[in-house]
């Protein structure tokens, strides 16, 4: 596929590919009544907090286990039931179970830029020099090669659709048998991508500072600009809500229909985002912190790390949170909001080895020294919970900031 071309199955969007950059197609806006209703909701939540109705500790995430890696954990993904976790460090992909045991690992031909797993866990996707598709057992099913690098990947239920973004500006959809069903020329690199459970909606974060939503085989539904590169993106499984994280240090929350609900500043550029069903919890990995927000845009928890929080994934019901640590941490972390689960498991001790195996293997666990750049404070901070309670006053300020942010739209002069 060449830049600016669309396959015959994407003829509905070929006009955009031919014309290059065109004016913003659909402004993200909310009607006055919707805004008033949202403001009233926020004020009600504010009053509830001030009256002590809301519990400050409800649903806080606590650590279950931590598994060290010999490199920054650049990407993580988790099945809907939390039974399997896929993670990447360097050029190696790992599949872990819920107890933190490594089921298999496999090296690919270059640095892994993104990983994905189907909701039930039957297929694992890897975006690197090629697009790789593995079975849950670690068998390589196929590898799609182009002249470009794949930057992102996500998979719909039962591996029916595999969506991937290339550094030539294309977003492609393949079926489980490697047949390319559709491609769309974004005109810019896509750094993050998420697909709905049924494969009909795809959310994309791009190098041109844009957040996009595509309808499968139809093309672009809407887009808006953030002012900086967008690395974090996620969709609820039903595609009803979109969370985006930008280099402008803000989290953006929108409906799947394109209504911008709020944005929230976190203080650092955001590398990854995740969200639960109905957008009840939104997660943003920024700096050395994972910020946990509720659907009104109020920050309810901060999870601190001794190094950079580089990637994040969560189960739709919010029971399990997976975090990949970058420089200064280099670990895979599992958190839960159910304290009873912590006592039921013995956390694994050791690291996963980034050295390239001769093939798909089931590695034994070893306990080498911690990475040289990982400080002693890292383990202490996470083992103690890595939790930082957000004071009631901070929550109030967060709601006030979001009430103010409702008065502002994303960039209305954004061109997509």
How many Å apart are CA 192 and CA 207, to the nearest integer?
Answer: 10
pLDDT digits (tens, 9 = 90+) for 312-335: 999 999 999 999 999 999 999 999
Strand partners, 153: 164
Determine contact, residues 395/49, Cβ cutoff 8 Å.
yes
pLDDT band at 146 (very low <50, low <70, confident <90, very high): confident
Between the CA of residue 297 and those of 56, 237, 252, 279, 310, what are the distances in Å?
A: 15, 20, 9, 10, 21
pLDDT band at 341 (very low <50, low <70, confident <90, very high): confident
Domain boundaries, the chain: 8-405
Q: For 8-405, CATH number?
A: 2.130.10.10
Q: Which one of 215-219, 307-311, 352-356, 376-380 scores highest in mean pLDDT?
A: 307-311
Least confident range from 67-76, 173-182, 203-212, 215-224: namely 215-224
User: In this structure, what token pair is assigned to residue 217?
Assistant: 């085989």
User: In this structure, what token pair is assigned to residue 76?
Assistant: 């993580």
pLDDT digits (tens, 9 = 90+) for 44-61: 555 444 443 333 345 799
pTM score, whole prediction: 0.77
SS3 33: helix
Between the CA of residue 322 and those of 15, 62, 132, 173, 325, what are the distances in Å?
A: 40, 11, 22, 26, 10
Nearest alpha carbon to residue 374 among 321, 305, 310, 284: 305
pLDDT computed for residue 332 by the predictor = 97
Q: What is the mean pLDDT of residues 188-210?
A: 94
pLDDT computed for residue 189 by the predictor = 87
């Amino acid at each position: 596929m060449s830049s600016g071309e669309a396959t015959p199955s994407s003829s509905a969007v070929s006009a955009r590919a031919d014309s290059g950059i065109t004016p913003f197609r659909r402004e993200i806006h909310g009607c006055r009544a919707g805004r008033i209703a949202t403001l009233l909701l926020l004020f009600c939540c504010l009053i509830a907090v001030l009256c002590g109705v809301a519990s400050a500790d409800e649903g806080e995430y606590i650590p279950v286990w931590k598994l060290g890696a010999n490199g920054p954990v650049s990407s993580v993904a988790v099945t809907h039931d939390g039974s399997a976790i896929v993670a990447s460090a360097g050029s190696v992909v790992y599949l872990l179970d819920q107890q933190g045991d490594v089921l298999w690992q496999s090296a690919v031909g270059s640095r892994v830029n993104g990983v994905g797993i189907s909701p039930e866990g039957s297929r694992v996707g890897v975006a690197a020099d090629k697009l790789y598709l593995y079975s849950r057992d670690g068998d390589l099913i196929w590898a799609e090669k182009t002249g470009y690098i794949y930057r992102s990947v996500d998979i719909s239920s039962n591996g029916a659709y595999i969506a991937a973004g290339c550094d030539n500006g294309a977003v492609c959809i393949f079926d489980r048998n490697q047949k390319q069903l559709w491609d769309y020329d974004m005109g810019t690199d896509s750094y993050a991508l998420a697909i709905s459970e049924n494969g009909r909606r795809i959310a994309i974060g791009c190098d041109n500072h844009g957040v996009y939503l595509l309808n499968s085989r139809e093309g672009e539904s809407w887009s808006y600009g953030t002012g900086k590169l967008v690395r974090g993106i996620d969709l609820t499984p039903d595609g009803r809500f979109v969370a985006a994280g930008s280099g402008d240090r803000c989290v953006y929350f929108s409906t799947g229909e394109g209504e911008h609900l709020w944005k929230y500043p976190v203080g650092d550029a955001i590398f990854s985002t995740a969200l639960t069903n109905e957008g009840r919890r939104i997660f943003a990995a920024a700096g050395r912190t994972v910020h946990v927000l509720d659907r009104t845009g109020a920050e309810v928890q901060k999870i601190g790390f001794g190094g950079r929080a580089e990637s994040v994934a969560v189960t739709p019901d919010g029971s399990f949170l997976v975090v990949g640590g970058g420089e200064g941490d280099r670990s895979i972390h599992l958190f839960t909001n159910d304290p009873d689960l912590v006592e039921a498991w013995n956390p694994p001790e050791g690291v996963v080895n980034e050295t390239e195996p001769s093939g798909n293997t089931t590695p034994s666990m070893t306990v080498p020294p911690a990475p040289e750049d990982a400080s002693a404070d890292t383990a202490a901070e996470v083992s103690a919970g890595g939790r930082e309670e957000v004071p009631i006053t901070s929550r109030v300020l967060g709601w006030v900031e979001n009430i103010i942010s409702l008065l502002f739209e994303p960039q209305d002069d954004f061109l997509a």
